[in-house]
Amino acid sequence: MSGLLGFLVGLVMVGLANSAKFDELFQPSWALDHFLYEGDLIKLKLDNYSGAGFGSKSKYMFGKVTIQLKLVEGDSAGTVTAFYMSSDGPNHNEFDFEFLGNTTGEPYSVQTNVYVNGVGNREQRLDLWFDPTKDFHSYSIFWNQRQVVFLVDETPIRVHTNMEHRGIPFPKDQAMGVYSSIWNADDWATQGGRVKTDWSHAPFVATYKGFEINACECPVSVAPMDNSNKCKSSEDKKYWWDEPTLSELSLHQSHQLMWVRANHLVYDYCSDTTSSSLQKQVKYQRPENDGKLRDGPRQAGSMITIYEHRTVI
């Protein structure tokens, strides 16, 4: 497929577009004794004493971040490995990949979530179509003023679209750090918490390489509004992520997203009518071949039923 980076030529590029060494972009954030360097590989270790994590040295606004990750092998039940972007404070924005471990032989699940102004509860969960413990796979977050796209090996698995014209807030004014961690969450991660972590199989190890950030860097010494203005295209500068062709998925990408959701989607907050936090759900139909899928498509005859967004309390 033509990836989201296919329109770089002639446009302003900010950040490191090629794979960088870990120390150029990141630093350990906790449990240094559970953090391992092995050549070009970084390993985070979880045992019954602690997990571990790392974070970016800078914050960013708009662009694309990618890691290559090999998840915990064998019995990983109860463990969560996370890759995410987040701003600071109670009204923070956040884009989450959470990889939920499972018993040996059962598929890994990936859960995504989007927080806007401190409000989350927008979970979607799917089973991966490959074994993520046998080799490295790329996981990416693409973000501009029109959409947030979650990608696995350059295949979109979720799109969160700017719906400000409907009065729904969209994350576009807060710079975000890039983070990853591994921790124990056996109270909910595997089969709703019914399967607990078997510590006799510890340590549980997640392995990383191929760190890429191609985004607008936002110094902490600069006021948030100035950073926001700096990272938006103008007559004087054009950023690659503001290319009009990146304001929505291509038709091919839309078909990929439809395939993922039709074959691997396990849970979508938009269709969970039992949730007490569901306040409003916007639903409409759009022809399936227009290439404009949003969060939560469902087949409905010859149409795609689109669950765009819900406001939560």
Q: Which residues are catalytic?
A: 94, 98
Which phi and psi (to 5°) does residue 263 adopt? -110, -20
Contacts 24+ apart (CB under 8 A), 49-53: 51/181, 51/182, 51/183, 51/184, 52/28, 52/181, 52/182, 53/28, 53/29, 53/179, 53/180, 53/181, 53/182, 53/183
Which phi and psi (to 5°) does residue 246 adopt? -100, 10
Q: What tokens does 112 get? A: 């995504």
Which of 263, 253, 258 minimizes the C-alpha distance to 128?
A: 263
Q: What tokens does 253 get? A: 């990408």
Q: What tokens does 16 get? A: 């490191």
The residues, any chain, with a CB within 8 Å of residue 301's CB and separated by 6 or more, are: none
Answer yes or no: are the C-beta atoms of 44 and 54 closer than 8 Å: yes
Which of 55, 52, 57, 64 minimizes the C-alpha distance to 24?
A: 57
Measured distance CA(243)–CA(272) in Å, rounded: 35
Which of 101, 50, 47, 91 minimizes the C-alpha distance to 71?
A: 101
Measured distance CA(192)–CA(208) in Å, rounded: 27
- For the chain, give me the number of helices (H) and strands (E)? 3, 19
Largest CA distance in the chain: 60
